[in-house]
Amino acid sequence: MSTVIRSCPGCQSILLSDTAECPECGHVFYQQKDSSISEVLDVGSMKSSTLADPCPHCGEMVRAGLVRCWSCNGFIREDIAARYRDMSATPQQIIYSTIPLGQRTDYLPARNDTSKGEIPKAYDAEDFELSDGFADTRDDSSPAEFELEANPKAQPSRPVSVSVSAVSQVPAEPTDGPDKPQQKTPGGRPTPASTRNSASAETSATTGGKLNATDDDLLSIAMQEERELQKRRGDKIADRQRKMMMLHCPCGAWVRVSETQAGKFVRCSQCKQPINVPQIRRKVEKKADKPAVGKLAVKWIENIRFFRIAPTSIVLKPGSIADKFVEADLAFTDSKIVVIAFTGADKKKRGLLGKAPKIDRVEQRKQLREQIAAAGDFSTLTEVEVHSISADQVSEIRLVQPILKAHESMFAGVPVFGDGRIAIFLPIASEGGLQAYCSQSLSTFRALREVLKTNFSLELPAIENGVPEADKSDNLSCFINQSRVESVRNLNYYQQDVAYELELSGYRCKSCTAVISEEGRNKNKLGGTNGKGIAKAKCPKCSGKMGEELLYRIKKSPNADTAGPTPEA
């Protein structure tokens, strides 16, 4: 399809062939086909007329066709202003329906004595500061304080009558809206023709699509703007009064005060006397108290090795089941013993390299303590195994290692839980004939024995079977330099307890039982410089091989109150 371009005979502008009217000069093509355009829109008259006229009140340039000035809010034409004043002065009369007096329930009670026909007035409080010599003249009978609810309802007030002439004469605050004319673009250049055309089109839309709008149309627009303005003002006043309270003045007036004026003096607008605003106390809704969770008193013993094994599958060999345990903690209450085994982490999948994920046991224990304290019970614990032993079952707990008499031992006196470990039987029911045991080091067993004795009056025969009740050591004399050599008793228990820190103090010859201190060995270079060859070194007393019988002393004890082991000659 070809496109035909032609020039306008009036201004020589290049136009399409189907253009009905030239947008530059207003030349109309095909007069017989579209004659209504020239009748409705007289482009020539629009170009000849000015786009802005000066306001007769303030002198600001106002866009042509507007009813009011954007700066002072005054009417541009005096005849429209007079018509508006006439219509506002005689508003439409309100017709009230007649309701019998006995059926009237919605009414506003009087604030004070209205027997004399006087209606109390309400004023907004005026803030001011009192001088130093001013005395409080407030009546003692007036309330000292009042309470303000969380959502106070607005006090009803009398309607305020405002004359129309006064409203029309009060200039409005200038606004930066679309009504403000712009003669230049933000860049400082004159407004282009497209902007002027859009402004003219907007003016036509405001006046109902007609260039020569009638006075009734302009008046209706002005009335609508005035109603919207009054509605916005009324909403602001109602919202402000809704947040205020009413105080009674001795002169009979009511004074509105806000919450920010509490504890201050305000002035009554009618009698100009000061009024003391009392402190505002809000009503606090009492929430239903939730039943407090009782605090659970728990004593903890950590780093316990927990076993669940079948006795028939145990090989009677020292340390045969020492590594078949899971780490656990014991929780003691007044009514039961709870075993918390950390088995949840063992069930997790291994990583890409086949290694189990590293677990922060300290953080895990902290989370478990918080859960128990919040719930007041052990039933909410996750990722762990929880086994309970009631107070009636505590008497079934038995010591199984060490047992000096082999015929009385379940394992024939063999330390199957590892040398230096103390194990007890736990009455926990298990499927498949499995029995529950736990083993602990010396320091942990001492704490366990004390809790069992205090809470459940149970004493285990540990001392009778070789478990040291207290830290004891022997004072020996060195064969070389006659120095003192301290040797702790029952060394195997201390070597398996990480809570103790041991220090090498000397050596004992297996042939003649002669004792050599570490200082004496170092002086005579027995076993080399560092003493690694002491087992094959010759004893200075019997010339036999020394062997590997090492003597240790306790350097650091887990009990801070204990200065050290009790030495014995």
Burial of 495 (0-12, 13-18, 19+ CB in 10 A): middle
Please state the rounded mean pLDDT for residues 157-162: 41
pLDDT band at 328 (very low <50, low <70, confident <90, very high): very high
Query: Distance between CA atoms of 69 and 57, rounded to whole angstroms?
Result: 9
Please state the rounded mean pLDDT for residues 153-182: 43
Query: Distance between CA atoms of 1 and 19, rounded to whole angstroms?
Result: 17
Neighbours of 286 (CB within 10 A): 6
Q: Are 389 and 451 in contact (CB under 8 A)?
A: no
Q: What letter would DSSP give residue 156?
A: P
Supply the pLDDT for residue 29: 78
Strand partners, 254: 122, 248
Q: What is the pLDDT of residues 476-529, one digit of tens each?
A: 999 888 889 999 999 999 999 999 999 999 999 988 888 999 888 888 888 888
Instruction: Provide the CA 55 distance to its chain's centre, in angstroms.
Output: 58
Task: Give the DSSP H or E segment for 406.
Answer: none
Least confident piece of the model among 18-22, 70-74, 284-288, 436-440 = 284-288
pLDDT band at 565 (very low <50, low <70, confident <90, very high): low
The phi and psi torsions of 455 (rounded to 5 degrees) equal -85, -35
Of 349, 311, 309, 312, the closest CA to residue 326 belongs to 309
Of 313, 541, 523, 348, the closest CA to residue 433 belongs to 313
Q: Are 475 and 568 in contact (CB under 8 A)?
A: yes
Query: Distance between CA atoms of 261 and 276, rounded to whole angstroms?
Result: 10
Of 168, 208, 163, the closest CA to residue 68 belongs to 168
3-state secondary structure of 345: helix
Query: Distance between CA atoms of 339 and 378, rounded to whole angstroms?
Result: 10
Those residues with Cβ within 8 angstroms of residue 200's Cβ, 6 or more apart along the chain or in another chain: 46, 51
Tokens in use for 35? 């004659």
Supply the pLDDT for residue 561: 47
Of 314, 562, 568, the closest CA to residue 442 belongs to 562
Tokens in use for 356? 């189990």
Higher pLDDT: 406 or 104? It is 406
Peptide bond preceding 152 in cis form (omega within 30 of 0): no
What is the residue extent of each domain of the chain? 1-35, 49-89+120-283, 301-348+359-465, 472-568
Tokens in use for 467? 């478990």
Those residues with Cβ within 8 angstroms of residue 361's Cβ, 6 or more apart along the chain or in another chain: 327, 342
Q: Are 351 and 357 in contact (CB under 8 A)?
A: yes
Q: Output the furthest CA–CA distance in the chain (Å, rounded).
A: 146
Q: What is the pLDDT of residues 419-458, one digit of tens each?
A: 999 999 999 988 788 999 999 999 999 999 999 999 899 9
Tokens 């702790």 belong to residue: 488
Neighbours of 292 (CB within 10 A): 7
Supply the pLDDT for residue 198: 46
Q: What is the pLDDT of residues 532-543, one digit of tens each?
A: 888 888 888 888
Candidates 2.60.40, 3.40.50, 2.30.29, 3.30.460; correct CATH number of 301-348+359-465?
2.30.29
Query: Distance between CA atoms of 484 and 554, rounded to whole angstroms?
Result: 15
